[in-house]
Amino acid sequence: KAGVTQTPRYLIKTRGQQVTLSCSPISGHRSVSWYQQTPGQGLQFLFEYFSETQRNKGNFPGRFSGRQFSNSRSEMNVSTLELGDSALYLCASSLELAGVEQYFGPGTRLTVT
Amino acid sequence: GESVGLHLPTLSVQEGDNSIINCAYSNSASDYFIWYKQESGKGPQFIIDIRSNMDKRQGQRVTVLLNKTVKHLSLQIAATQPGDSAVYFCAEMGGGSYIPTFGRGTSLIVHP
Protein backbone atom coordinates (compact mmCIF):
# COMPACT_ATOMS: atom_id res chain seq x y z
CA LYS A 1 0.00 0.00 0.00
CA ALA A 2 1.14 3.51 -0.68
CA GLY A 3 1.86 5.54 2.41
CA VAL A 4 0.45 8.88 3.46
CA THR A 5 1.33 11.60 0.98
CA GLN A 6 1.45 15.32 1.58
CA THR A 7 1.75 18.16 -0.86
CA PRO A 8 3.55 20.39 -1.21
CA ARG A 9 6.65 19.30 0.68
CA TYR A 10 8.03 22.80 1.05
CA LEU A 11 6.32 26.16 1.02
CA ILE A 12 7.39 29.74 1.62
CA LYS A 13 4.72 32.33 2.34
CA THR A 14 4.58 35.93 3.52
CA ARG A 15 2.91 37.15 6.69
CA GLY A 16 -0.78 37.82 6.17
CA GLN A 17 -1.15 35.33 3.33
CA GLN A 18 -3.08 32.11 3.56
CA VAL A 19 -1.99 28.58 2.72
CA THR A 20 -3.65 25.28 1.93
CA LEU A 21 -1.91 21.97 2.55
CA SER A 22 -3.08 18.63 1.21
CA CYS A 23 -2.97 15.11 2.61
CA SER A 24 -3.87 11.79 1.02
CA PRO A 25 -4.29 9.01 3.58
CA ILE A 26 -3.48 5.35 3.19
CA SER A 27 -6.13 3.62 1.12
CA GLY A 28 -8.93 2.43 3.39
CA HIS A 29 -8.06 4.77 6.23
CA ARG A 30 -10.97 7.01 7.14
CA SER A 31 -9.39 9.20 9.79
CA VAL A 32 -6.95 12.01 9.08
CA SER A 33 -5.28 14.01 11.83
CA TRP A 34 -3.12 17.09 11.46
CA TYR A 35 -0.20 18.08 13.65
CA GLN A 36 2.17 21.01 13.94
CA GLN A 37 5.79 20.28 14.82
CA THR A 38 8.19 22.99 15.96
CA PRO A 39 11.48 22.86 17.86
CA GLY A 40 9.98 24.91 20.68
CA GLN A 41 6.60 23.26 21.18
CA GLY A 42 7.23 19.80 19.79
CA LEU A 43 4.45 17.83 18.16
CA GLN A 44 1.00 19.33 18.76
CA PHE A 45 -2.37 18.05 17.65
CA LEU A 46 -4.40 20.37 15.44
CA PHE A 47 -7.55 18.42 14.55
CA GLU A 48 -8.91 15.11 13.36
CA TYR A 49 -11.37 14.43 10.57
CA PHE A 50 -13.43 11.30 10.16
CA SER A 51 -16.20 10.76 7.63
CA GLU A 52 -15.86 14.35 6.44
CA THR A 53 -16.50 15.78 9.91
CA GLN A 54 -14.11 17.35 12.38
CA ARG A 55 -14.25 15.08 15.42
CA ASN A 56 -11.48 16.34 17.67
CA LYS A 57 -9.74 19.68 17.90
CA GLY A 58 -6.57 20.85 19.59
CA ASN A 59 -5.83 24.19 21.14
CA PHE A 60 -5.14 26.29 18.06
CA PRO A 61 -6.76 29.55 16.92
CA GLY A 62 -9.56 29.64 14.39
CA ARG A 63 -7.09 30.65 11.68
CA PHE A 64 -6.33 26.96 11.43
CA SER A 65 -9.07 25.02 9.71
CA GLY A 66 -9.47 21.92 7.65
CA ARG A 67 -11.81 19.72 5.76
CA GLN A 68 -12.09 16.17 4.56
CA PHE A 69 -13.51 14.94 1.30
CA SER A 70 -15.58 11.87 0.58
CA ASN A 71 -12.47 9.97 -0.55
CA SER A 72 -10.89 10.72 2.86
CA ARG A 73 -8.35 13.13 1.42
CA SER A 74 -7.95 16.15 3.64
CA GLU A 75 -6.83 19.74 3.37
CA MET A 76 -5.66 22.11 6.04
CA ASN A 77 -5.87 25.87 5.68
CA VAL A 78 -4.10 28.56 7.66
CA SER A 79 -5.29 32.11 7.11
CA THR A 80 -3.55 35.36 7.96
CA LEU A 81 -0.19 33.69 8.40
CA GLU A 82 2.07 34.75 11.25
CA LEU A 83 5.81 34.22 11.62
CA GLY A 84 5.09 31.75 14.42
CA ASP A 85 3.22 29.51 12.02
CA SER A 86 6.53 28.43 10.50
CA ALA A 87 6.64 24.72 11.23
CA LEU A 88 6.50 21.21 9.86
CA TYR A 89 2.87 20.27 9.34
CA LEU A 90 2.23 16.57 9.51
CA CYS A 91 -0.83 14.60 8.70
CA ALA A 92 -1.49 11.10 9.91
CA SER A 93 -4.09 8.57 8.92
CA SER A 94 -5.64 5.70 10.81
CA LEU A 95 -8.31 3.12 10.17
CA GLU A 96 -10.62 4.34 12.85
CA LEU A 97 -11.56 7.50 14.70
CA ALA A 98 -8.99 8.34 17.38
CA GLY A 99 -6.94 5.38 16.24
CA VAL A 100 -3.92 4.58 18.35
CA GLU A 101 -1.86 3.35 15.43
CA GLN A 102 -1.38 6.34 13.19
CA TYR A 103 0.65 6.52 10.00
CA PHE A 104 2.33 9.82 9.32
CA GLY A 105 3.20 11.49 6.07
CA PRO A 106 6.56 13.19 5.45
CA GLY A 107 5.14 16.61 6.29
CA THR A 108 4.98 20.01 4.65
CA ARG A 109 7.69 22.44 5.73
CA LEU A 110 6.07 25.89 5.89
CA THR A 111 8.23 28.96 6.24
CA VAL A 112 6.55 32.31 6.86
CA THR A 113 8.65 35.39 6.15
CA GLY B 1 -2.57 20.80 32.27
CA GLU B 2 -1.48 17.22 31.83
CA SER B 3 1.83 16.63 30.11
CA VAL B 4 4.10 13.91 28.86
CA GLY B 5 7.81 14.44 29.25
CA LEU B 6 11.11 12.71 28.67
CA HIS B 7 13.97 12.32 31.13
CA LEU B 8 16.87 12.56 28.66
CA PRO B 9 17.05 14.64 25.52
CA THR B 10 19.98 12.69 24.01
CA LEU B 11 21.10 9.11 24.37
CA SER B 12 24.34 7.85 22.81
CA VAL B 13 25.01 4.12 22.60
CA GLN B 14 27.36 1.75 20.83
CA GLU B 15 26.09 -0.51 18.10
CA GLY B 16 24.99 -3.80 19.61
CA ASP B 17 24.17 -2.37 23.01
CA ASN B 18 20.67 -2.27 24.41
CA SER B 19 19.02 1.16 24.59
CA ILE B 20 16.48 2.36 27.10
CA ILE B 21 14.47 5.50 26.44
CA ASN B 22 12.35 6.83 29.28
CA CYS B 23 9.19 8.87 29.49
CA ALA B 24 7.23 10.30 32.40
CA TYR B 25 3.54 10.97 32.14
CA SER B 26 1.15 12.76 34.42
CA ASN B 27 -2.34 11.77 33.26
CA SER B 28 -3.11 8.63 35.22
CA ALA B 29 -6.38 8.29 33.30
CA SER B 30 -4.70 7.74 29.92
CA ASP B 31 -5.71 4.50 28.23
CA TYR B 32 -2.92 4.11 25.70
CA PHE B 33 0.75 4.92 25.55
CA ILE B 34 2.51 4.95 22.22
CA TRP B 35 6.09 5.15 20.99
CA TYR B 36 7.04 6.76 17.70
CA LYS B 37 10.36 6.98 15.87
CA GLN B 38 11.18 9.96 13.70
CA GLU B 39 14.16 9.89 11.38
CA SER B 40 15.58 13.07 9.95
CA GLY B 41 13.41 14.45 7.17
CA LYS B 42 10.60 11.99 7.76
CA GLY B 43 7.35 11.87 9.65
CA PRO B 44 7.00 9.89 12.88
CA GLN B 45 6.70 6.14 12.51
CA PHE B 46 4.54 4.07 14.86
CA ILE B 47 6.65 1.57 16.82
CA ILE B 48 4.50 0.03 19.51
CA ASP B 49 1.70 0.84 21.90
CA ILE B 50 0.61 -0.46 25.27
CA ARG B 51 -2.73 -0.30 27.00
CA SER B 52 -2.95 0.98 30.52
CA ASN B 53 -4.05 -2.45 31.82
CA MET B 54 -0.72 -3.97 30.74
CA ASP B 55 2.75 -3.76 32.27
CA LYS B 56 4.82 -5.01 29.38
CA ARG B 57 4.53 -5.53 25.69
CA GLN B 58 7.11 -6.87 23.25
CA GLY B 59 7.60 -6.27 19.58
CA GLN B 60 10.39 -6.93 17.16
CA ARG B 61 13.58 -5.99 19.09
CA VAL B 62 11.55 -3.57 21.22
CA THR B 63 9.91 -3.86 24.60
CA VAL B 64 7.73 -1.25 26.25
CA LEU B 65 7.34 -1.23 30.01
CA LEU B 66 4.63 0.65 31.84
CA ASN B 67 4.88 1.43 35.53
CA LYS B 68 1.62 3.04 36.59
CA THR B 69 2.73 3.43 40.19
CA VAL B 70 5.35 6.00 39.27
CA LYS B 71 3.75 7.01 35.96
CA HIS B 72 6.74 5.93 33.94
CA LEU B 73 7.04 4.47 30.47
CA SER B 74 10.15 3.08 28.82
CA LEU B 75 11.14 1.76 25.43
CA GLN B 76 13.89 -0.83 25.31
CA ILE B 77 15.63 -1.52 22.03
CA ALA B 78 17.71 -4.69 21.89
CA ALA B 79 20.95 -4.91 19.94
CA THR B 80 20.76 -1.31 18.80
CA GLN B 81 21.75 -0.70 15.20
CA PRO B 82 22.86 2.46 13.38
CA GLY B 83 19.47 2.47 11.64
CA ASP B 84 17.86 2.99 15.03
CA SER B 85 19.37 6.47 15.22
CA ALA B 86 16.39 8.82 15.36
CA VAL B 87 14.26 10.88 17.71
CA TYR B 88 11.87 8.81 19.78
CA PHE B 89 8.60 10.23 21.07
CA CYS B 90 6.21 8.87 23.62
CA ALA B 91 2.56 9.84 23.48
CA GLU B 92 -0.54 9.22 25.53
CA MET B 93 -4.19 9.04 24.62
CA GLY B 94 -7.48 8.39 26.29
CA GLY B 95 -8.81 9.06 29.73
CA GLY B 96 -11.70 10.97 28.25
CA SER B 97 -9.55 12.73 25.68
CA TYR B 98 -8.91 11.42 22.21
CA ILE B 99 -6.32 14.05 21.57
CA PRO B 100 -2.84 12.52 21.68
CA THR B 101 -0.27 14.33 23.79
CA PHE B 102 3.34 13.91 22.73
CA GLY B 103 6.51 14.16 24.73
CA ARG B 104 9.35 16.38 23.56
CA GLY B 105 11.44 13.53 22.20
CA THR B 106 14.78 11.81 22.89
CA SER B 107 17.48 11.75 20.29
CA LEU B 108 19.10 8.31 20.07
CA ILE B 109 22.56 8.25 18.51
CA VAL B 110 24.05 4.88 17.70
CA HIS B 111 27.81 4.78 17.16
CA PRO B 112 29.15 2.02 14.89
Contacts of B32 in chain A (CB under 8 A): 100
Nearest residue in chain A measured CA to CA from B43: A106
Tell whether the model's pLDDT for residue B3 goes beyond 70. no
CA distance B64 to A106: 25
Instruction: List CB contacts of B11: < 8 A, sequence separation 6 or more.
Output: B19, B21, B106, B107, B108, B109
Residue closest to A23 by CA, chosen among A106, A83, A109, A85? A106
Q: What is the pLDDT at residue A100?
A: 87
Residue closest to A12 by CA, chosen among A99, A91, A98, A110? A110
CA distance B21 to B79: 14
**Lowest-confidence region among A61-70, A96-105, B1-10, B94-103:** B1-10
Give the pLDDT band (50/70/90) at residue B39. Answer: very high
**pLDDT tens digits, residue range B76-97?**
999 999 999 999 999 999 877 7
Tell whether the model's pLDDT for residue B28 goes beyond 90. no
Give the pLDDT band (50/70/90) at residue B26. Answer: confident
What separation in angstroms does the CA of B72 have from each of B27, B28, B106?
11, 10, 15
**Lowest-confidence region among A7-16, B6-15, B101-110:** B6-15
Contact A56 B98 (CB under 8 A): yes
Helix (H, G, I), strand (E, B) or coil at A95: coil
CA distance A18 to B91: 30
Mean pLDDT of chain B: 90
Q: What is the pLDDT at residue B7?
A: 45
Identify from A5, A102, A109 which residue to disrupt to test chain B contact, counting B C-beta atoms within 10 A and taking the largest count.
Answer: A102
CA distance A42 to B103: 8
**Lowest-confidence region among A42-56, A61-75, B1-15, B23-37:** B1-15
| Chain A nearest CA to B65, separation (Å) | 17
Residue B84's φ and ψ, nearest 5 degrees, are: -85, -10
Using the 8-state DSSP alphabet, how is residue B52 labeled?
T
**C-beta of residue A22 within 8 angstroms of C-beta of residue A75:** yes
Contact A45 B45 (CB under 8 A): no
CA distance A50 to A69: 10
E-assigned strand segments in chain A: 5-7, 10-13, 19-24, 31-38, 42-50, 53-57, 64-68, 74-78, 87-94, 103-104, 108-112
- DSSP strand pairing (B106-111 vs B10-14): parallel
Q: What is the pLDDT at residue A86?
A: 97
Q: Counting beta carbons within 10 angstroms of the beta carbon of residue B20, is it exposed (0 to 12), middle (13 to 18) or buried (19 or more)?
A: middle
Contact B102 A42 (CB under 8 A): yes
Identify from B32, B49, B53, B98 which residue to disrupt to test chain A contact, counting A C-beta atoms within 10 A and taking the largest count.
Answer: B98
Q: State whether residue B83 sits within 8 Å of chain A by CB.
A: no
Mean pLDDT of A104-110: 97
Give the pLDDT band (50/70/90) at residue A34. Answer: very high
Give the containing element (helix H, strand E) for B100.
strand B97-102
CA distance B37 to A27: 22
Contacts of A44 in chain B (CB under 8 A): 102
**pLDDT tens digits, residue range A39-95?**
888 899 999 999 999 999 999 999 999 999 999 999 999 999 999 999 999 999 999
